Structure 1
Amino acid sequence: MRLAVAGGTGTVGRHVVDVAGGRGHEVLVLTRSRGVDLVAGTGLDAVLQGVDAVVDVTSVMTQDGKEAERFFRAVSTNLLTAEARVGVRHHVALSVVGSDRAPVGHYAGKVVQEELVTGGPVPWTLLRTTQFHEFAAQLHAQLRFGPLQAVPVMRSQPVAAQEVAERLVALVEAGPGGRVRDLAGPEVLRMTDMVRRYARATGRGGVVVPVPLPGRLGRAFRDGTLIAGPEADRGVQTFARWLTAIPG
């Protein structure tokens, strides 16, 4: 099968490329080096010729809801329109557990993406997952002020990016399946504890300061909105096991 991966150099995308290649699929990564601009929509028709399925694992690092909506609207619209023109038969999209219950900030963009995919012209599969283990590392890098590390008060159910990639490739192989079962990690943790453990494991240090975020997003972080329900599938890699595999 010939697959194209949008976001193929990112946290999940690089694993999708490796997993799909390891299963014998031909994989194209949609990047500017191939003449593709996903936001502008340029270069897609030529690259998608002969592609059987597109996996969209793009993301944008923002909590500005309008910015997130603009990004996901542009990327999803451009991908789906080009796929329909050239005859791609399957669009697989990655979304976030609970985004529809907290459609603010980054998650507002995911709601727009889901609406476009599920109402679009290409047969589709939609997988929602919880945050990845790497989210703790991203927060540690973004919210440091000298020796202080501000971390949102949040309950998280982190899942391995590798396991997400394996599920996405399996869904590609299965064909269009609509909204499939959510995928979550094996345990619910506090984000402050995750960041502390990440800092210790990598020797980065810092004093973690819990910060309760205001508004609807802050409530969703705290009240379990972004935790998977009992019907979701569970990954097996724990956060502790992930920490042992990252470089110090």
Structure 2
Amino acid sequence: MRIARFAHPKGMSFGAVEGEPDAGPQALTIAQIDGHPFGQITFTGQRWAVADVRLLSPILPSKVVCVGRNYAEHAAEHGAEVPAEPLLFLKPSTSVIGPRDAIRLPPQSRQVEHEAELAVVIGPPGARRADRAAAQRAVFGYTCANDVTARDLQRSDGQWTRAKGFDSFCPLGPWIATGLDVGDLEVRCEVGRSADEMEVRQLGRTRDMVFDVPGLVSYVSHVMTLLPGDVVLTGTPAGVSPLTSGDTVSVRVEGIGELVNPVVAMD
């Protein structure tokens, strides 16, 4: 099932996306869910054309827990070693935006880069000191993410909070895919000035992650309690590169869909 959060003329709702994503938004509908998708899902009977609604970030997490250097080639491109244990950092909830929302380039940075990632969405009851099996059971589903990073500030600050934490630096979407085997999925990032000029910048596979999803969720849960709706970003493949105002950046994860965001200068 693909679960979206969307705005429509009557308000905001969750819904199940119907149709094949590759056919384009004109071919997709959303069956509105009564309330929240955690727990037993019931439908209202209302359907909306995806083209007639605005897709929002599929979840509003209390926190976004990220994993650095979880692909060996990405670590190597920055001259860093693969860590012996997952390298964790946080992005604030205020960094989260949804599909088609703008990534805003802050004036403090001259080198803002994309990082395409598979994102894990935690479901009820959450996870606290979970073993691998319990960690996997805590996964509600998966979505696409872009761990936008001010690389020059990351280097100069010596820690990552400012570089990773600007408003708009965590696009998520377009929806949450449930029941997905993420052991070997393609992760792709394309950047361009128009739909006809998109260039592949990152191309990797989740099988190349140093630490897999159950291991990551378990590890994080032994540090902090993961609440339902929290998001864990699993690291990015090699190929990160700068974004400039006027770019469009696309993140695709096989089996999930495409997350597209324009890039603009911050007001």
- TM-score of the two chains, using structure 2 as the length reference: 0.28
Q: Which has the higher strand share?
A: 2
Q: Which has the higher helix share?
A: 1
